[in-house]
Amino acid sequence: MTFPSPGTSAKRLAGRRALVTGASRGIGAATAQRLAAEGADVAVTARTADRHPTLPGSLSQTVRLLDAFGGRFAAVVADLTDADERSTIVPRASDALGGPIDILVNNAAAAIYQPLIDFPLKRRRLMFEVNVHAPMDLSQAVLPAMVEHGEGWIVNVSSATARLWAPPYELGQLGATTGIYGASKAALNRLTNALGAELALTGVRVNAVEPRSAVMSEGAEILIGSLPPEQVESMEEMVEAILALCDCPRERTGRTHVSLDLLDELALPVHRLDGTPLAG
């Protein structure tokens, strides 16, 4: 099925139901807005219903932003570190939106940066629970309906920290403290590839996308502080790349993409989160 481009009278994602994790702020909240602007009904999930103790943003604030687009929206409060609790997310989202999920964006991530030599097991388990097991569980939950329908899109938000270093080990500002986080994202990339291969003939597309440069969300600013402009990409650019994979053809599957490289490859213009063209 071919959908119109943004800015046309028909919304390209009209009739689709989407679920976005980690959507109380940052890339998740921005992605939810853009999906809603393109006509999708959207369920958002995170642990924070109304207020986070240290960070701005909440699910209720995200839903208020989505209300401006006039679709059907739902907030599902859940802790992705709890396997029993996250098993309720897809059923609750489907019930709230009135049908099975067509688009799953696994954006939520746990990022703890510290040297590996004394990295606690508890923290390692927490990061793999959120960054690997939760995306896999949610994917397994949405896949039966997608396969039956012969169509579906799963987008896993990855990270350049998954890449291997090589001598002379120019580690950058954070040094090797991203090792465990990167290992979890490398595992996510491998699962993306395997699922894409396994489902290649079903019409379900499974892809990952990582920022080429830092996206300065609220959490990123706390973790890495300020960066020079040449090391930063805009939230709109990252979201444009995610959106492209929420509406890609069936032959694009099982890949890990880089945001700005994907936009260049597809010659995609960048839009604001409300779907209007970004000037300049």
CA 275 to chain centre: 18
Choose, from 181, 237, 238, 246, the residue flagged as catalytic.
181
Tokens 């390692």: give the residue: 124
Are 212 and 258 in contact by the 8 Å Cβ rule? The answer is yes
> Has 113 been annotated as catalytic?
no
Q: Given the DSSP bridges, would you call strands 103-106 and 17-21 parallel, antiparallel or unpaired?
A: parallel
User: Is the separation of the CB atoms in 43 and 21 below 8 Å?
Assistant: no
End-to-end CA distance of the chain: 31
Q: Which two tokens stand for residue 154?
A: 């799963």
Q: What's 45's DSSP letter?
A: E
Do residues 244 and 264 make contact, with C-beta atoms less than 8 angstroms apart?
Answer: no
| Catalytic positions, written as ranges | 181
